[in-house]
Amino acid sequence: MTAASASIVTNPSTGTIREYTTPGSIIVNDDETLYSLLTERIERTGEDTIIASRKLGPGRWDDITTGEFHQLVLDVAKGLIAFGIGKGDAVTLFSSTRYEWGVLDFALAAIGAVNVPIYDTDSAAQAERILNDSDVKLAIADNRERFDRLDSVKDHCPALKQILMLDGNALGALQGFGVTVSDEELDARIEATRADDLATIVYTSGSTGAPKGVELTHRNFLSIVRAGYECLSEVICDDHPRLLLFLPLAHCFARYIQYCSIGSDDGVVGYLPDTKSLLPDLRSFRPTYLLGVPRVFEKVYNAASRKAGAGFKGRLFAKAAEAARAWSRAQQAGEPHSAKAIAERATYEALVYRTVRGALGPNIRYVACGGAPLSPDLAHFYAGIGLPMIQGYGMTETAAPFTVTRVHDNVIGTVGQPAPGSSVRIADDGEVQVRGENVFRGYHNLPEKTAEAFTSDGWLHTGDLGSLDADGRLTITGRKKDIIITAGGKNVSPIPLEQEIVKCPIVEHAVVVGDGRPFIGALVTLDPEGLAAWLPLHGFDADMPIAQVANLTEVHDEIQQYVDRANATVSRAESVRKFVVLADRFTQDNKCLTPSLKVVRPAVNRVFAGVISNELYAGKH
């Protein structure tokens, strides 16, 4: 991909790239649907393994072929028809990531019903709002606990006819219902479903306000899935790809990659309902690629660092990690590696890198990260140990990814270029705006919010700030709503500061504050896993209460080192002058984290308002 072959618009006054359109196009025919991904695979490649379900216990997998999966999808689709689910009717899946989720998703897509997923961590009240907003007729929970959550609000959901439970053989029940439905009736429903029909309503996780129902069509998803085959074929298509999926399928990012795997020629997706036995599951499933949010990859790195300890092995790991980052940076700059660096790398490969990669499975080739900003240092570490970190950028409103780094154009610090035929531009105020076939059709029941989401000439407001380089690679620099304006009028983007502070091994989250205040401050939460290793090394009991740990001078001194590093990257007016270590964590229960583990900045400011006023800014006006 070269800039010369792309459509580029520059800013006449500054010469910077204002708009970039990736050359090419993605074709989605009007009669194609998400279900077509499955049928087209069978037509191309016949019957092979497509699914691995962890039904036999940790580290043990049950292989399912395309034929078996397809037949179950059809049987369940008949059951949904028999149950009275018509085209456009909403059905909720309230479940962790598991094989049955995929079956139901494709069955609903086949008959033109609308999948309305609910995060498995959502409360009964949150579920009730979604059920009523989208007029859900049938809800399917995975276990008794989530079934009971739905059942507790069923009387307040007039459209909801029935709740089924996967652990209570819901699929078997649907198969039983379906025996009364003929093949002809099913075929008619499949043929009546079109690319521009509504496929799903996904409720945003609400990091900037109340969740809104994002309406996505079959075309939206198909266009970005097929773009994935063009842009990331090495990852999701080549050399027998295997994906171990543990992110919640209620999140578009996970759902997108599920479709990519199932629609590829020989990809296998493994559904992992929990991560309690993640390491043996990784070893036994042998994925070739994984996707996760930044926190997942931070934990892998921190676990490797803790395992190395503080002695000789710890010093070796630290040197190897720095060498990996230096190796990656040299590659990015196109610089040759010195003989010394090559020799050191061979040593570190044998002693460190191979072990870290092996923790993600013996066949791992790529990792993909999205959902939140990732520290460039961490991306350089993974790239430097021989595990390229593919990064992307998108929103629920774009069916997950919109831009992505390519394997052979993986410029760390950027989130890559748009899909073929798609466009990104930078508005006068620095906002990233996008346009493409995967952009949603609107917010459910919210025409005014839908109108507000688009510019007058049809571009989607993202709310993010960014810039484009000469080759159309996008860099995200912050969010418009996150920009802090101090009492002195200084505009501060908090994300770069936070990314530096959370590199501290005992820090879980950092949130920079200071809007309308005399200086920039930060709230810091502690990572229990990091503390478990750190405390004994510094002469403290590993079981010390967190409230006591938060007040330790040694803890503050450790974090201060990372605050100082963050401050070294900005001017004094933008630097963190003071921070508070919280005894509490950011969680979904206190609304400070979304189900996809993004920090909800307004909630943090609200929940910890007293701390901000009375500890960070006591006596400061």
Q: 506, exposed or middle or buried, with CB in 10 Å at 0-12, 13-18, 19+?
A: buried
> Is residue 91 within 8 Å of residue 109, measured between CB atoms?
no
> What is the 3 state secondary structure string of 441-473?
CEECCCHHHHHHHECCCCCEEEEEEEEECCCCC
pLDDT for res 452? 96
Average pLDDT over residues 226-239: 96
Q: What pLDDT score does 620 carry?
A: 59
Burial class (CB in 10 A: 0-12, 13-18, 19+), 139: buried
Question: Tell me, what's the pLDDT at 578?
Answer: 95
Q: What mean pLDDT do residues 556-579 have?
A: 92
Q: Which residue has the higher pLDDT, 444 or 296?
A: 444
How far are the Cα atoms of 206, 322, 341, 352, 616 from residue 345, in angstroms, in the given order? Answer: 44, 11, 6, 10, 45
| Mean residue pLDDT across the chain | 92
Give the tens place of pLDDT for each residue, 169-208. 999 999 999 999 999 999 999 999 999 999 999 998 655 5
Element (H, E) at 291: strand 289-292
d(CA 25, CA 2): 16
Is 90 exceeded by the pLDDT of residue 487? no
What are 47-63's pLDDT values in tens digits?
Answer: 999 999 887 677 789 99
- pLDDT score at 619: 62
Residues of the chain with pLDDT > 90, as a percent, come to 78
pLDDT at 254 over 80: yes
Instruction: Give pTM, 2 decimals.
Output: 0.86
pLDDT digits (tens, 9 = 90+) for 325-353: 999 999 999 999 999 999 999 999 999 99
CA distance 335 to 341: 12
pLDDT confidence band for 211 (50 / 70 / 90):
confident
Average pLDDT, integer, range 294-310: 84
Q: Facing residues of 414 across strands? A: 412
- Indicate the pLDDT class of residue 621, thresholds 50, 70 and 90: very low
Give the pLDDT score at 308.
Answer: 87
d(CA 149, CA 343): 58
Rg of the chain over all Cα atoms, to the nearest angstrom: 25
Neighbours of 88 (CB within 10 A): 12
**Residues 214/443, Cβ–Cβ less than 8 Å:** yes
How would you classify the pairing of strands 431-435 and 460-468?
Answer: antiparallel
Q: What is the pLDDT of residue 245?
A: 94
> Sorting pLDDT into bands at 50, 70 and 90, what band is 531?
very high
Beta-carbon count within 10 A of 450 CB: 17
Least confident of 4-13, 142-151, 321-330, 434-443: 4-13
Q: What is the pLDDT of residue 573?
A: 83
Percent of the chain at pLDDT > 70 equals 98
604, 586 in Cβ contact below 8 A?
yes
CA distance 182 to 195: 24
Paired tokens of 21: 């359109």
pLDDT at residue 53, as a whole number:
87
Query: Cα 232 vs. chain centroid, distance in angstroms?
Result: 17
Q: What is the token pair recorded at 6?
A: 């792309």
Q: Which of 179, 306, 288 is nearest to 237 (CA)?
A: 288
The two structure tokens encoding residue 615: 């500890």
Distance CA 370, CA 357 (A): 19
Task: Look at residue 4 in the predicted model and tell me its pLDDT.
Answer: 44
Residue 15: pLDDT over 90: no
Q: Name the residue among 312, 433, 414, 430 with its Cα closest to residue 369.
A: 414
Cβ contacts of residue 478 below 8 Å, gap of 6+? 464, 465, 493, 494, 495
Task: State pLDDT tens for residues 400-455.
Answer: 999 999 999 999 999 999 999 999 999 999 999 999 999 999 999 999 999 999 99
Which residues have CB under 8 Å from 366's CB, separation 6+? 234, 235, 288, 289, 290, 387, 388, 390, 407
* 182 class by beta-carbon count within 10 Å (0-12 exposed, 13-18 middle, 19+ buried): exposed
Which domains, ranges and CATH numbers included, belong to the chain?
Answer: 34-287 (3.40.50.12780), 483-616 (3.30.300.30)
Contact 419, 402 (CB under 8 A): yes
* Residue 3 confidence (pLDDT): 43
Of 162-176, 186-200, 219-233, 561-575, where does mean pLDDT reach its minimum?
561-575
Q: Which residues contact 530 (CB under 8 A, 6 or more apart)?
A: 302, 306, 505, 506, 507, 508
